[in-house]
Structure 1
Amino acid sequence: MNAVQLDRAVGVVLASAAGDALGSQYEFGPALAEDVTPQFGRGVFGHEIGEWTDDTSMAMPILRVLADGRALEDSDALDEIVARWCEWSATAKDVGVQTRGILSSLASTTAAETTSRTEQQHRATGRSAGNGSLMRTGPVALGYLDRDPAELIAAAGRVAQLTHWEQDNVDACAL
């Protein structure tokens, strides 16, 4: 990327994290009236003022792997993402129900085991969609700006299925 593109990519990440932190106190609450000006405060799950939620926390390992120039086709890169998620989730204030169920059931932190466990859970329950994986698609897109759209779609699906196997969920991430 050139300097302008890199600046914009960094801006996207910072704006997303700031919006997540600002919204943490309103998550799972009623809609705000149009005339209310949101302010930072303590989040529903006890997030400190200005602290982001699980959405940004789970995006960070993806961003780190991509910033290192690694590809999401690389099983070692995906293993690292899963390992960071498992470390983070052990003490996290907020982890989505679907995601916590998957991460807490792992015997190892490999992407292959995570994806297998996610598929098993989906087949047992018949559903596994959720917005959690969609919230992590932005970083994937940033890492694939210079790639063929088909590669981006495949990478988004791979990352989505680490925690949410359902095909409708994968399709939403592709869109």
Structure 2
Amino acid sequence: MLNKIKGALFGFAIGDALGGTTEFLTKEAVKERYGQVREIIGGGVWRLEKGETTDDTAMTLAVGRGILKHPQNLVSAIGEEFLKWNASKPKDIGNIIQTVFEIYEGDWFEASKKAHFHYLNEKSAGNGSLMRCLPVALAYTDLEKIEEITKLQSKMTHYDALTEEACVIYNRIAFQILQGKSLGEAITSEVKGTIYEEALKGKMPSCPPDGFVVNTMEWVLYWLLNEDNFLGVVIGAANEGYDSDTVAAIAGGLAGLHFGFEELPKDYCQVLLQKHELEQLALGLYYFSKGE
């Protein structure tokens, strides 16, 4: 179990670091500038250091730390971690989350709702809560509890129901993998009968891999269903461009969960600047999930 949890977090961060180099570029621009990004090299629009990750990993760590810090008062604890991260003046914060941070006055759900209706023209279906929800599935063993907390963490910043739906489907897939199902079986069982069922046909999405949560989820499923190894998933997603850090991170989280840490390329894991934080969180979530 620890191998899987650690694999999920490191797989996520590897995808984030790879995709951070190519974020906002078109697929053609990625090819022209880099040929193909196959290593963690940094750079890109955020001028990342080699091994540096973006807001995707930062907010995932925040959710995980919040769960461990105060499981009885999750929203407040996760929110404190969000604010601590925001105070560090990070390079990259998504527009929806930035808006919620700016109007937050003590109630996350009120801020999320207000942002949706009064500041974002009722367009808060970004992928910012999907990118950070994985620790919930790693911390809890009860599916009902996983769904409940997954929805809560999403609604803290993203009011639109589409974000909540994507987060729940994603974490249900993670739950099934942790229960012993293969990646393909888990995806099939959780995607059937949803708006993402078309992904099971394996066709490349016609939408861009941008920040809209539905488009992001379609591309995540595409890479997971069409590549049979971890690097194939994250390198494929990273070289597609657009919101490549988030797509590669989200896909890398489930791929890492499926393959486990021991199967991940060690040189990619070692180059990550936050490897010790990822290791600590993995251990914390592992013991938490065992009730220790």
Structure-2-length-normalised TM-score: 0.51
Counterpart for residue 100 of structure 2 = 102
Write 1 or 2 for the structure with the bigger share of helix: 2
Alpha-carbon separation, structure 1, partners of 2:6 and 2:115: 35
Structure 1: segments with no counterpart, 5+ residues: none
**Aligned residue number for residue 64 of structure 1:** 65
Count of aligned positions: 160
- Percent identity between the two aligned chains: 29
- Whether the aligned pair in 2 keeps the contact of 1:46 and 1:93 (CA below 8 Å) is no
Matched, 1:89 2:86: yes
1:41, 1:50 within 8 Å by CA — same for their partners in 2?
yes
CA distance in structure 1 between the partners assigned to 2:50 and 2:37 by the alignment: 16
Where 2:128 maps in the other structure, the secondary structure is: helix
Q: Offset at 1:67? A: 4.2
Q: Secondary structure at the match of 2:129?
A: helix
Structure 2, unpaired ranges of 5+: 170-292
C-alpha displacement of 1:99 = 0.3
CA distance in 2, matches of 1:52, 1:12: 15
Q: TM-score, normalised by structure 1?
A: 0.83
Q: Judge conservation of contact 2:136–2:149 (CA < 8 Å) in 1.
A: yes
> Which residue of the partner structure matches residue 129 of structure 1?
125
The answer for the alignment partner of 2:24 in structure 1 is 28
SS in 2 for 1:65: helix
1:12-39 deviation per Cα after TM superposition (whole angstroms, max 9, x unaligned): 1011112211211111112245x72433
Larger Rg: 2
Partner secondary structure for residue 126 of structure 1: coil
How far did residue 94 of structure 1 move?
A: 0.3
Q: Note if contact 2:125-2:160 (Cα within 8 Å) is conserved in structure 1.
A: yes
After the TM superposition, list the runs of 4 or more consecutive aligned residues in structure 1 that deviate by more than 3 angstroms. 65-68
Cα RMSD of the aligned pairs, angstroms, is: 1.8
Instruction: Give the structure 2 partner of residue 45 of structure 1.
Output: 46
Q: Residue 12 of structure 2: SS of its match in structure 1?
A: helix
Q: Is the 8 A contact 2:46 2:92 kept in 1?
A: yes
- Rounded Cα–Cα distance in structure 1 between residues aligned with 2:130 and 2:37: 27
**Partners of 2:58 and 2:110 in 1: CA distance:** 23
Which of 162, 167, 176 does residue 173 from structure 1 map onto? 167
